[in-house]
Amino acid sequence: MSDPTADIRARQAASFGARAGAYAEHRPDYAREAIEWGLAGAEGTPRRVLDLAAGTGKVTVTLAELGLDVTAVEPDPEMLAELSRLLPSVTALEGRAEQIPLPDASVDAVFVGQAFHWFDAGLAMTEMARVLRPGGVFVPMWNYEDESVPWVAEFTETAGIGGRRPNTDTEQQPATHAAFTAFESSRFRHAHRRTAESLVETFQTYSRVIVSDEAETAPLVAQVRRFLETNPATASGEFDLPLITWVFRSRRR
């Protein structure tokens, strides 16, 4: 008998391709300082970097801007096609975290943006250990709305995503693995320029919204839109959505 929770999770993990264009347009990038902090965890100077589960390239773009030799690996062909359209100079390969299509010890760093929680952690970290050189760094990272800002906390509660950010490093901590050192972590504040309508579009790229029936999500989307169109901080033109990039790093032994 199948596990309903596991089935829903699998559907959510595979859902993003249906909204690949919207994901590319509306999801935020990551704080550049967070990516630089992650890179600084490697021994030596990183040159060859893997963006694993790269999606439409939200981490890839900053790694490329830093002058690194980036390979993007993504399992969803629609997301990968969007990445290649936006970043044609980046090597883009179809593949999964549990079976990475790269040679042994071929990269200096592995980044994972907003995706490690979808992996089979043990298998994925074994594969990352294989493709990383000794002294290379593994950097999982997540963007969260900054709920210390009152209107943002009200927005996330209205959208039904309030409290989705873990409160402590222990709650968010990626899995441990014998091939890697203990994780360090840091957080970096940044912002995403939005309008009420574009933040509604962002909300509709969340996996639980994508996989739900329209009859179920339509009232919630309308509720989110009403909040943003009447809230003083978001009702008139463009505004900054405060975000936190929460980043971890661990060195390959």
- For 101-138, the pLDDT digits (tens) are 999 999 999 999 999 999 999 999 999 999 999 999 99
Q: What is the model's pTM?
A: 0.91
- Find, among 99, 96, 94, 93, the residue nearest to 126 by Cα: 99
pLDDT at 195 over 60: yes
Domain range annotation of the chain: 4-148+162-193+242-251
Q: Do the Cβ atoms of 74 and 94 come closer than 8 Å?
A: yes
Q: What is the CA angle 37-116-181, rounded to 5?
A: 55
Per-residue pLDDT at 1: 52
For domain 4-148+162-193+242-251, give the CATH superfamily: Vaccinia Virus protein VP39 (3.40.50.150)
pLDDT at 7 over 50: no
Q: Measure the CA–CA gap between 132 and 50, rounded to whole angstroms.
A: 9
Q: Which two tokens stand for residue 204?
A: 């509709």
Relative to beta strand 132-145, strand 107-113 is: parallel
Round the average pLDDT of the chain to a whole number and report it: 92
What's the mean pLDDT in 157-182? 85
Helix (H) or strand (E) holding 152: helix 150-158
